[in-house]
Amino acid sequence: MDFSHTEALWVLLLGSLLGLELIGKVPPTLHTPLMSGANAVSGITTLAALSLIIKAGDNKPLLVIGSISLGFALFNVVGGFLVTDRMLAMFSRKTIRKKGNR
């Protein structure tokens, strides 16, 4: 796949603008879960670690670095999403009960 830096800079610009627009008003209740969720998304470096390993060929040190990097990234991703879900589960359980009561 072609990769040009000019294009990539456009992608960076548009991605940043999108990020700025995504979050408007956030109730304080959701600050922690949102931070945690966004944090899990930043574990997207998983992709970088993956391509590093695949491109490494027979380069042993690089494979090891890539693998450690992948481990860190996935720790972030898996842990991040699960912990966010754990937090949010508490909110949703309550909303369901509330609906049932009224």
Partner 1 sequence: MINSVLLKYSIDLVAVLLLALGIKGLSKVRSARDANRLAAIAMGLAVVGVLVDFLGGSGISTNAWIWILLGTLVGGFFGMITANKVPMTAMPETVALFNGCGGMSSLLVAIGVLLFRSNSDEVQKTIDLVGNISIVVSVFVGAITFSGSIVAMAKLQGWLNTPAWTQSKLRHAINISFAVFALIGSIDLLFGGDSGLWLLVFGSSLLGIGVTLPIGGADMPVVISLLNSYSGVAAAAAGFVVESQLLIVAGAMVGAAGLILTQVMCNGMNRSLVSVLFGGALGVSSSRGGSDQSEYSNITSCSVDECALTIEAAERVVIVPGYGLAVAQAQHTLREVTRVLEAGGIEVSYAIHPVAGRMPGHMNVLLAEADVPYEQLKEMDVINPDFPATDVVLVLGANDVVNPQAKKDPNSPLYGMPVLDVYEARTVFVVKRGMSAGYSGIKNDLFELSNTSMVFGDAKKVLGDLLVELKELGLGRKG
Residues 53-72 that bind partner 1 (CB under 8 A): 53-59, 61-72
- Rounded least distance, CB 100 to partner 1, Å: 13
If binding is defined by CB under 8 A, does position 20 make contact with partner 1? yes
If binding is defined by CB under 8 A, does position 42 make contact with partner 1? yes
| Dihedral sign for Cα atoms in the order 30, 31, 36, 42 | positive
If binding is defined by CB under 8 A, does position 96 make contact with partner 1? no
Residue 51's closest CA among 5, 13, 1?
A: 1
How much of the chain is helix, strand and coil, in % rounded to 5? Answer: 85, 0, 15
Residues in binding contact with partner 1, number by CB under 8 A: 89
If binding is defined by CB under 8 A, does position 31 make contact with partner 1? yes
